[in-house]
Amino acid sequence: MRNLTLRQLRAIQAIMRHGTIAGAANEQGLTPPAVTLQLKQVEEDAGIVLFDRTNEGLKPTAAGLAFVDAGQMIQERLRLLDDEIDAIKGLRVGTLKLGVVSTAKYFAPRMMATFRKDHPDIEIRLAIGNRAETIASLRNHEVDMTLMGRPPKDIPLRSTVFGDHPLVMIAAPDHPLAKCRDISKERIAQEQFLVREPGSGTRISLEIFLSELPGRLDDLGTEMSSNETIKQAVMAGLGIAFISAHTIAMELEMGRLVILDVVGMPIRRQWFSVIRTDRTMSPAMKAFQEFLTLKGAQCLPFFDRLYPESAAPFYHPPT
């Protein structure tokens, strides 16, 4: 590996992204024979095949994935070196690639704007995805840091809490349960749920909440692809939903949604900033982490109550 070059690593990464020599060559501004030669040299030096040739294109072998991962880490370290040199020069500049789960997009812009007041020369590049996509970006070194509700356990990570994350049951204002108190788990389980895709954080929490009711998880509800779609469906009267309270601040203020007073809710989780332990913190990462510790919770939506003030004093489920 002593003769391995950055150009070769970039070629391998490009082949991984495109699955073809031609696509990689076009991205790198090279000819296909030049990229083929680079790949051949690396495979000969390593004594192992990096890509399998299939009908669907070039697929990385385990060795190929190892080279891709090494290339990503080296590029990250070079970018970090740029930030460190700027810091040594006394420049408060840098970039931060921030990944957030889709639920966090409701407060991430406010958080970025607040951070920018103290660090105007640090650029934040925001990547929004569902839980699976955000974890994949973290695993593939595509982001520096992520904001999420439940860190994965199969990646070496450093997780830091920066705020509370209440999960609540919502309904349209004219729903029969909207003004009831102390709604039992058994009663709420009779409703039609609108839910996110399998593996999402809110869905997992709902499954845990309902798991002791026999058969209720067999048909959990109607799946929808985003929080926005779910909110619109709830407002239209298509069902109720279990959702992050931080996604519904505007609808609550406008009176278009209400939070149901269900026994055992809100379920209180936490927001985490998540960083891989196998990478060095850049000055921009350190600055943002310090900001989250001091001011992160202040950027989250605030709720003075979690059920309507006019709610009935209690609710007795029908016998």
* Model pLDDT, residue 271: 94
DSSP track, 23-85: HHHHHHT--HHHHHHHHHHHHHHHTS--EEEETTEEEE-HHHHHHHHHHHHHHHHHHHHHHHH
**Strand, coil or helix: 243:** strand
* Model pLDDT, residue 225: 82
CA distances from 32 to 11, 21, 28, 42, 60 (A): 11, 6, 10, 16, 18
> What percent helix, strand, coil does the chain show, rounded to 5?
45, 20, 35
* Model pLDDT, residue 272: 95
Number of other CB atoms surrounding residue 211 within 10 Å: 10
Q: What 8-state DSSP symbol labels residue 107?
A: T
Instruction: Look at residues 297, 15, 287, 6 and name the one whose alpha carbon lies nearest to residue 144.
Output: 287
Q: How many Cα atoms occupy the beta-carbon half-sphere of 59 within 13 Å?
A: 5
Sequential pLDDT tens for the chain (319 residues): 677 888 999 999 999 999 999 999 999 999 999 999 999 999 998 999 999 988 888 999 999 999 998 888 888 788 778 777 776 666 566 788 999 998 899 999 999 999 999 888 888 999 999 888 999 998 888 899 999 988 988 888 999 999 999 999 999 999 999 989 999 999 999 999 999 888 788 888 899 998 888 888 888 889 998 899 999 999 999 999 999 999 998 899 899 999 999 998 888 889 999 999 887 788 888 889 999 999 999 998 876 555 444 444 433 344 3
* Model pLDDT, residue 93: 66
* Model pLDDT, residue 18: 92
